[in-house]
Every structure is written in structure tokens, then in C-alpha cells.
Structure 1
Amino acid sequence: MKENHDQEREVATHIKNKELVRERRRKIVDVAVKLFIEHGYHKTTTRALAKKTGMSTGSLYEYVSSKDDVLYLVCTSIHAEVERGIKEALARPVENGCALAEVIREFFLVCERMSDHVLLMYQVTQFLPEKWQKKVLEAELRITDLFIEAMKELRISGKIPDLDDHTINLIGHNISVLGHTWAFRRWYFAKYFTIDEYIEQQTEFIMRFLGKKNNQQYLPCRNNVTDTGSSV
């Protein structure tokens, strides 16, 4: 995605092969998440990170200049995956509440796949330099804006109730928080819900709120078969 590639270019590198840079940085990010969670951000050395990725310390520094860069790339990897999933969901030929349900589902599935990344992002973003913190927060708001803009488009087409902008804004932020909540509380939720069950119940909660605000019964369709075989 163009925007994510722009973010990647903000992290300095002398390597000219852009695809190689993306591939190596993906590997660095995946290894870093595990090390940061296991040993802590401050206790994880760049030498240990290089060793786990199978690179020399010198080679590692060709793709990132510091642990701060690595942590920033962890954050941008989450945002890129979310943006990709949401845009794919919006492009699907579905009707009525299913359109919003698809967006919610894709976002929650990304939060499930990248639970460690999400948790780490919230735990250690405070340690980033101010310029990186600002960009991470801007990216978070940009993700929420995708939900908000999606609902505004669905409102225009009559696929969700005619809600005011303030309500749509609130719902957009609620979707974002509920997705991240799975990452924060999966140690508890996973005992009682599969990710599909969590998605279904939270989506129904959001849809009921939509209907309540518009004084009508409004639930997502339940015959939309997903890749996992579940219904929403």
C-alpha cells in the first residue's frame, strides 16, 4: 500500500532494492515482537535481534538504525494489515448490514492474527521518540477514520440507518476499541469464546445500537458465510 510504503521510507536504509527491504523488515518485525514480549523492550538488544533473524548486527543496521525504528515498523505493520483488510471488505458485493459486518469482521480478524503486535504497540509506544509517537497516533486515527468513512458511505446508500456524524464517529471509535480489546483480554475471552463467536456477538451489539439510535430493529445478516465457515 502506498501510504505504508511512505511510512517505511521514513525509516532510513541504504538498500536500493525496495522489495528486499520490505521482506527483511517483515522478518525483523516478527522476530522483534516475540523478543520484546519475552524479554521486554529495554532488555532486548539489537545483537540478540540480529542473531534471531539470522543476520549480522551490521546487516541489521542496513535495514533499521535503532530499536526505535523496529518498534515503529511493528506499529506500521499493524496499520497496513488493517487498512488492507478493511478495503478488501468494502470491495465485496454484499448488501445492507452485511457491508458493515464485513468491515468489522476483517478488522477483528486482523486483531486476532496480530494480537501480540497490538498488545506490544500499546505497551511500548510510549518509549518511541516523539516524532514516531505522533505518527503512530495519526495512523491509529486513520484506521478509525476508515470505519467512519465506510459508515458514511453506507448511510448514503441506505445500507445503515440515517445516523448523525457524531454518532457515526462514536461507533467508529467503539469498533476500533472492541477489536483491540480482544488482544488485551484474549487471556480471558479465549476461555469462553472463539474469535468467530466474539466477532458475532460484538457485531450484533454494534448493530443493535445502530437500530436503537434509529428506532428500528437492525441486525446483521446471518447467512453470510465467511472463509472460516462461520456466519455473521
Structure 2
Amino acid sequence: MTQKKQIPSLVKDPKLVKKRREQMIEAAVSLFIEKGFHKTTTREIAAKAGFSIGTLYEYIQSKEDVLYLVCDSIHQQVEDRLLEAMKEKENSLESLKAAMKHYFMVLNDMQDQVLLIYQETKSLPKDTLHYVLSREEQITEIFEEVLKKGIEDGSIHLDPREIKLMAHNIVVLGEMWVFRRWALTKQFSLEDFIEKQTRLIVDQLSVAK
């Protein structure tokens, strides 16, 4: 994965930096969703976070730094919830089912934030954009690892050459709910969508169909 960007801070207390940046992220997500990145000012972010513009610039150097922190936070939440869902399953096929279910549920819970990433990351500097995109790839790699383990334990039947493609298929199926929910919700509930898309994948992977 591309190396994580280190954002300089004038404040040297790590706990305080973490706390203030979390406040910034929460404020910025709300404002970016409402107004968009370009129409939101750092002064508005500071005010919504509950401190002065001077204090804001003790913890970041630019509005692009705030956008980077927002994107990284969103990806981390998705990844953490996905990994938590996969614990203590009897085999990799069951882990995959659990991962898909919770991945789709996380995207539903965070649909505005996910849309924000796709809409606003173009505003990031090139090196920072590469890191944010690599976080997206890291989530895909979680599914790749489950598929590899399933081939090894015999619970998943898949040509190893197709692992990466299948992992990307799963990720895109989840994102479909975010990008096409305006049409999908006319016919499907989230539960229906999860059940049908999981069955679509599992039917292709199960040894005993």
C-alpha cells in the first residue's frame, strides 16, 4: 500500500491531535455532504467543530488535509467493521458470506460518506490521491484473502487466477447499492439485495451447490 501521508501538526500531544482531528472530520463530513468540498471553507469547518480558525491550522495545513483525513477515516471504518464481521466463522465460505453481508450493511450506513469519497477525491493532490485509492484496494484485498483461504480449506471452488476479479466483483456489487439505490429501492429492500447478491456470488463458489 502507498505510504500513509503524515500531516504536520504544531501540537505535539498525540491524544489531543487525535481528538481535534476527529472533531474536524465529523464537522467536515457533514459540511462536505451538504455543500461540497469546494464550497466549504476552513472557517466553516472550524466553527462547526467548535474551535477557532487559528486552532484549526494548528492541526492541519490546508483544506485538502481535512479531505484526506475524512477519506482515510471513512475507509478505516469500513475496513474495521468488515474484519470484525469475519471473526470466528467455521470456514472461509461462511466468512465470505458474513463479510459480504456486513460490507453491504456498512455501505448502506455510510452511503453519503462513500459518495463523498468518489465525488471529492479528485480534489486531492496526486500523491495523497494514490494513498486514498490504495485504501480502496486494501478493502478489496480483504475479500481476496478470504477467497484464497477458501480455496485452501476446500470451502470455495474458484480458479486462483480469478481471485482478484471475483474480489473486485464483490466490492462493486456493494457499491451498486450506494450508486444505484435510487432505482434499486423501488423493488428491493436492503435485506433482499444482500440475500440475492450473496447468493449470486456463493452459487459460483460453492463446491456443493
> When the two structures are superposed, what TM-score results if normalisation uses the length of structure 2?
0.89
Q: Segments of 4+ in structure 1 off by > 6 A?
A: none
2:129 pairs with 1:123: no
Q: Relative contact order (C-alpha < 8 Å, sep 6+): which is higher?
A: 2
2:9 pairs with 1:21: no
Cα contact 2:27–2:49 (8 A) shared by 1: yes
Aligned counterpart in structure 2 of residue 50 of structure 1, from 46, 55, 63: 46
Cα contact 2:46–2:53 (8 A) shared by 1: yes
Cross-structure match for 1:11: 7
| TM-aligned CA deviation for residue 193 of structure 1 | 3.0
Cross-structure match for 1:185: 180
In the alignment, residue 25 of structure 2 is paired with which amino acid? V
Cross-structure match for 1:206: 201
Q: Tell me the distance in 2 between the aligned counterparts of 1:22 and 1:201.
A: 40
| TM-aligned CA deviation for residue 75 of structure 1 | 1.3
Identity of aligned residues (%): 43
Q: Tell me the distance in 2 between the aligned counterparts of 1:123 and 1:60.
A: 24
Aligned counterpart in structure 2 of residue 164 of structure 1, from 159, 163, 168: 159
Q: Tell me the distance in 2 between the aligned counterparts of 1:40 and 1:82.
A: 22
Cα deviations across residues 154-173 of structure 1 (Å, max 9, x unaligned)? 21111211x12232211100
Stretches of structure 1 that go unaligned for 5 or more consecutive residues are 218-232
Give the direction of change, closer, same or farther, for the CA distance of 1:24–1:183 in structure 2 (3 Å limit).
Answer: farther
Cross-structure match for 1:221: none
Cα contact 2:68–2:128 (8 A) shared by 1: yes
SS of the equivalent of 2:180 reads: helix
In the alignment, residue 99 of structure 2 is paired with which amino acid? V
RMSD over equivalenced CA pairs, Å: 2.1
In the alignment, residue 64 of structure 1 is paired with which amino acid? I
Q: Tell me the distance in 1 between the aligned counterparts of 2:16 and 2:102.
A: 28
SS of the equivalent of 1:84 reads: helix
Q: Tell me the distance in 1 between the aligned counterparts of 2:163 and 2:38.
A: 39
Q: Tell me the distance in 2 between the aligned counterparts of 1:89 and 1:40.
A: 32
| TM-aligned CA deviation for residue 100 of structure 1 | 0.7
Matches within 5 A, 1:32-111: 32-95=28-91, 97-111=93-107
Cα deviations across residues 95-137 of structure 1 (Å, max 9, x unaligned)? 4632210111222222122111110110111111001111111
Stretches of structure 2 that go unaligned for 5 or more consecutive residues are none
In the alignment, residue 142 of structure 2 is paired with which amino acid? L
Cα contact 1:15–1:63 (8 A) shared by 2: yes
SS of the equivalent of 1:94 reads: coil
| TM-aligned CA deviation for residue 14 of structure 1 | 2.5
Cross-structure match for 1:138: 134
SS of the equivalent of 1:64 reads: coil
Cα contact 2:20–2:59 (8 A) shared by 1: yes
Q: Tell me the distance in 2 between the aligned counterparts of 1:39 and 1:74.
A: 15
Q: Tell me the distance in 2 between the aligned counterparts of 1:119 and 1:155.
A: 33
2:144 pairs with 1:148: yes
In the alignment, residue 88 of structure 1 is paired with which amino acid? E
